Chains A and B, each alone.
Chain A
Amino acid sequence: MEHDGQMRSSEVEIAGLEKRFGAYRAVKSLSLSIEAGEFLALLGPSGCGKTTTMRCVAGLANPDAGDIRIDGQSIVDVPVHHRRIGMVFQSYALFPHMSVEENVGFGLHMSGVRGQEAKRRIDEVLALVQMEGFKDRIPAGLSGGQQQRVALARALVTRPRVLLLDEPLSALDAKLRENMQVELRALQQRLGVTTIFVTHDQTEALSMADRVAVMANGSLEQVGSPSSVYQAPQTGFVATFIGKMGSLSVYIADYQDGTTFVEPKGTTRRFALFGFEAKSWVGKDVELFIRPEDVTITDDSTGLEETGKCVMEGVVAGRSFSGSAATYILETVSGKVMATVGGAERVGMFSEGDRQVAVWPADRCLLCDGEKLVTFKDTRMERMEG
C-alpha cells in the first residue's frame, strides 16, 4: 500500500522464548526466525503454545525469558500499543458500537492520521478486501466472511510491521474458508507483509504458508516448507500430525549392512528395510508409518516381497471418498494401513469386509520409537566409497 503497492516488510526473530502459567510451561525455550515478507504458519494441536507464542509477539502476553526482535530491535519492553503490529483475532473482535469505517479508522486515528488522508486510506484498504460498499454498516449486520474482511482491513490499514493472524478462518464454513485461504495468501503476497499465521488446521497451514513451524507441547518440532514437513518429517509427532498416516506395530528383529529387518507384530512376515539406520533399536518394539498415497491395494501379491516391497494382508474396514480419490482403511493384525486409490474407475472397487493385500515400497516407510524417526537414506554411495 506504499506507492509501489508493497508494505515495508520486517523480519522477526524469536530467541529462547519462555512463557509459564504458574508451574505450566506453555512455551519452552522457543527460537524461530521469520524472514521479511514471509508467510509463516505456526501449526499445532490446541494447547501446544502456538497462540501464546503469537501473543508474546503481539505484546498481549509477557514472556518469562527470551527475546523477540523486529528488524533487530528487541520489542519485549515495548508496550502493545507501540509495537506497530496488526492482528486479526479468532473472534474478529470488531468494535460493535462502531461502523465499519470507524472500526477500520481506529488504528489510523491512534497513529495521528486524520481527515482526508485517513479517508483515502480507509477507502483503499476496504477496496483491497472488497468491502467498499460497507463503510456505514455496523459489524452485527455483516456475515462472518464480511466481518473477517473488515478485521483484516482494520489490521492492515496502519501498515503494520508484522501481521498476526490468530486462527482467523476457523469460524467460517468450509467453502468460504477455502476461498479466503486463497484470497488471504494472494493479498499477503501482494502486500509483502511479514505474516505469522496461527492454526491447528494442517491443510490450511500447508496450502497457505511459505514455511510451516510445527509445535507440540510448547516446543518446535520442525520448521520447513510445506512439502518438507509433509514428505520429510523429522519427528514422530510431525509424521502423524501432518497428513494421514497408516501405522503398524513392528519388532526390530535384526540389522545388517545398512538394512534393518522388521517383523510386524502377530505375523510371520519380515520386511527388509534397506537404507534404514536403526541398529540401536534392534530388539525394540516401534511403529512403522506409511502414507496412504504410497500404498496400493491388490488381491495378488505373489512374488512382490522379493522385489523389495512390504506386503500386509488385511480386511477393508472403512473408506472415505473425496471425489477424485478414495482412501481405504485396511485393518491388519499389526495395525491400520491406509491406501489412497485414484481414478474414477478404481474408486469404489473395494467394499467393507473384503480381504485384500496392501503393498508399498520399503523405502517409503518411517520407523518411529515414539519420538525419534528413522527414514530411508540412500547409503549405497557412501558404502561403496567407505
Chain B
Amino acid sequence: MTRAERFIRACYLGAMVIFLLLPIAVVVAVSFSNTRFLIFPPHGFSLKWFSDVLSSSEFLWPLWNSIRLALLATTVATILVLPCVVALVRLRPRFTRTLEAVILAPLSLPTIILAIGLLFFSAQIALGGSFAALVAGHTVIVIPYMFRTCYAVYIDANAEMEEAARTLGAGPVYTFWRISLPLIRPGIIAGGIFAFLMSFNEVPVALFLTNTKTTTLPVYMLSYLVYNYDPGVAAISTVQIVVVIVGLFVLDRLFGVRRIVEAR
C-alpha cells in the first residue's frame, strides 16, 4: 500500500469513527451519568436512568410496540415478497421491469408523503389509528429491502434444482417449500435484518399513524425530548443499541450473518 493509499484509508476510517461511532459513544456515556440533565462530558456514574426507564412502562411499552411492529412488518413483507420474487425470476413476465420499479418505489418516495396518504386512507377504510394501519405502512416501507436481497439471491439460483425436484416427483408447492425457499433463505435473512432495522428506526409514518397506545420508541423519544432533557433518553437509546446488537449476534450464531451479507 502506498503512502497516499494509507492516508486515504486513515481519513476514511477517521471519518467513520467521528461521525458514526463517536455520537453513539456519547449517548452511551451520557446514559451512565447521575446528573438530571443531558450534559457532556457526563458527571459521575450511576445506573439510575436505566432503572428509571426499565422500571416504568413509559419507555418499555413503546419499545415493545417497536419490536412487535418491526417483526410483523418484516414477516408480512416476506410473505408478500416471496411470490413476487419467484414469479419475476422464473416466469419473467412481460412487465418485469415495470413491476420491479413499482415494488422498489417506496425507496424513492419521501416517507412523509406516504405517511400523510396513509393517515387519510386508513381513516377511510376504518383502520384509522389502529396498529394494523401502522403495520401496513411499515410493510410498504420495508418491502423494497426484502425484495432486493431476495431477488438478488434468487436470480443467481440454479433453476435446474427446482426442475430436478419436479422430475423426482415433487409438486410445485412442495418444490417451493423444500428447494426454492432454502435457496432464497440467505436473501430472506439479510433482507429481514435490513427490514427490521428500517422499521425499528422509522419516524415519519409512525408519527402520523400512532396514538398514545400504539406509539413506537423513536416517536416516543422524540416527543419525550420536547419536554424533558434528562439522560433517560440516552439510557433507552443504549437499551435500543443493545437490543439490535444482541439480535444481530443471535442471527449470526444461527445463520452466519457475516457470510450472508458478504456474499451479496
Contacts and interface: CB of A to CB of B under 8 A. Distances in A.
A211 interface: no
A111 B163 CA distance: 16
B165 A106 contact: yes
Nearest to B166: A80
A81 B158 contact: no
Given A95-B179, A97-B182, A89 B163 contact: yes
A349 B167 CA distance: 55
Interface string B159-175: 01101111111110010
Interface in B167-204: 167-171, 174, 179, 182-183
Contacts of B169: 81-82, 84, 107, 110-111, 158
A58 interface: yes
A30 interface: no
A31 interface: no
Contact of A158 (B158, B160, B161, B168): B168
A246 interface: no
Given A60-B163, A87-B164, A106-B165, A93 B158 contact: yes
Contacts of A84: 169
Contacts of A83: 167
Contacts of A93: 158, 160-161, 163-164
Nearest to A58: B167
Interface in A87-130: 87, 89-91, 93-97, 106-107, 110-111
Contacts of A154: 164, 168
Nearest to B171: A81
Contact of A87 (B158, B167, B171, B179): B167
Contacts of B166: 59-60, 80-81
Interface in A36-87: 58-60, 79-87
Given A60-B163, A97-B182, A91 B168 contact: no
Contact of B167 (A85, A96, A97, A111): A85
B171 A95 contact: no
A85 B169 CA distance: 9
B109 to A, nearest CB: 36
Interface residues of B, number: 16
Contacts, number: 65
Given A95-B179, A97-B182, A86 B167 contact: yes
Give the size category of A's interface with B: 20 to 34
Nearest to A164: B167
Nearest to A89: B160
B164 A89 contact: yes
Contacts of B158: 91, 93
Interface string A117-160: 00000000000000000000000000000000000001100100
B88 to A, nearest CB: 19
Contact of B165 (A79, A86, A95, A164): A95
A89 B165 CA distance: 11
A241 B165 CA distance: 35
B160 A91 contact: yes
A351 B45 CA distance: 93
Nearest to A104: B168
A107 B183 CA distance: 19
B41 to A, nearest CB: 52
Contacts of B174: 110
Contacts of A59: 166-167
Nearest to A166: B160
A100 to B, nearest CB: 14
Interface string B127-164: 00000000000000000000000000000001011011
A79 B173 CA distance: 13
A94 B158 CA distance: 10
A154 B161 CA distance: 12
Contacts of B170: 81, 106, 110
B167 A80 contact: yes
Contacts of A58: 163, 167
A54 to B, nearest CB: 11
A72 to B, nearest CB: 21
Interface centre among B166, B174, B182 (most CB of A within 10 A): B166
Contacts of A87: 163-164, 167
Contacts of A89: 160, 163-164
A193 B192 CA distance: 47
A96 B171 CA distance: 19
Interface of A: 58-60, 79-87, 89-91, 93-97, 106-107, 110-111, 154-155, 158, 164
Given A96-B161, A111-B169, 8 more contacts: A59-B166, A81-B168, A84-B169, A86-B167, A90-B160, A95-B164, A96-B183, A107-B168
11 contacts: A59-B167, A60-B163, A81-B169, A93-B160, A95-B164, A96-B183, A106-B170, A107-B169, A111-B169, A154-B164, A158-B168
Q: What are the 9 tightest A-B residue pairs by CB atom distance, in nearest-first order?
A: A110-B169, A107-B168, A93-B160, A93-B164, A80-B166, A89-B160, A87-B167, A97-B182, A93-B161
